[in-house]
Structure 1
Amino acid sequence: MLWTITIACLLLAGLIFRQSFRKRNEEIEMAGDAGLAILEFGRAFPGEAIRAVISTANGRTVFLRLHDGKAGCMNAHGHHYSCHLIEPGMVHVTGAGPKRLNVKFSNAAFEGGMFEFRDEKEAAEVSLWLLGSFMPGLAAQNPRIVGQPG
């Protein structure tokens, strides 16, 4: 009788251990998949062409650089993303350390917050995208603003 209870407890512990690792691996795959982020953003905004994608260090948020100087942001909520097209003049960005950005949106359509990136270069790149989204019309008129030879 004691051996039966011991074996049952070991099997139960093994199942719980396996499920926790499976769930953790699925969350990492969902959070770090840039291809899935591109597909989801394409569904939400089919008319926007994506030029570049950078995700945060934890993979829960993805920032997108769009073709016309605008930017987009996606936040993972489990297996779903909330997509946001950043309108000119609707974002306030401040640095909060070498790899962190504090982003606030003036409209309540998307939750802002503190975002940490893998390195300083990615944080700087995303801040330029967000700050460039203030006036995308000017970027389209003046090719030197977006770094193209003019």
Structure 2
Amino acid sequence: MLWTITIVCLLLAGLVFRQVFRREEEQEMAGEDAGLAILEFGRAFPDEAIREVITTADGRTVFLRLHDGKAGCMHAHGHHYSCHRIEPGTVRVESAGPKRLTVKFANAAFEGGVFEFRDEREAAEVSLWLLGSFMPAVAGLGPEAAGRPV
């Protein structure tokens, strides 16, 4: 009887250790995926300079703020990313909760959806990037300067 209890306790300890190790590994992979996303976006759009990166809470989608007022979005599909450069005015953003955004793209080439972030600040920051409201120099100019047809 004592051997049975000992074996069961060792099995339970092994399962707990495995779960803790797996959780730590997933957190490390999320950080590496952001770095990989930057490299992949640079390969897809070599002329775009990245200013800031925010990943979603699950780490599967990465939003990038680019140097010229545009934004980028990358969604993980297994070990590959689909890269998308977002022009101002081609996206619709709605709040879906304090840390969630519903994003719909005007061109159906990229999948939108509901994205959850780690906190409200990151969700608000990404919504500003996507809506292009961080472009004060372009806001005072005509629609031709903002890249929109007249």
TM-score (norm 2): 0.71
Contact 1:75 1:83 in 2 (8 A): yes
Residue identity (%):
84
Distance apart, 1:88 and its partner CA: 2.5
Q: Does 1:123 align with 2:131?
A: no
2:114 maps to amino acid: M
In structure 2, the partner of 1:69 is: 69
* 1:36 partner SS: helix
Distance apart, 1:90 and its partner CA: 1.3
In structure 2, the partner of 1:86 is: 86
Aligned-partner Cα distance in 1 for 2:97–2:87: 25
1:36 maps to amino acid: L
Aligned-partner Cα distance in 2 for 1:26–1:140: 48
In structure 2, the partner of 1:98 is: 98
In structure 2, the partner of 1:55 is: 55
Contact 2:102 2:113 in 1 (8 A): yes
Greater relative contact order structure (CA < 8 Å, 6+ sep): 1
Bigger shift: 24-33 or 52-61?
24-33
Contact 2:88 2:130 in 1 (8 A): no
- Alpha-carbon RMSD across the aligned residues, in angstroms, is 3.2
Q: How does 1:12-23 map to 2 (within 5 A)?
A: none
Q: What runs of 5+ residues in structure 1 fail to find an aligned partner?
A: 1-13, 142-150
Distance apart, 1:138 and its partner CA: 0.9
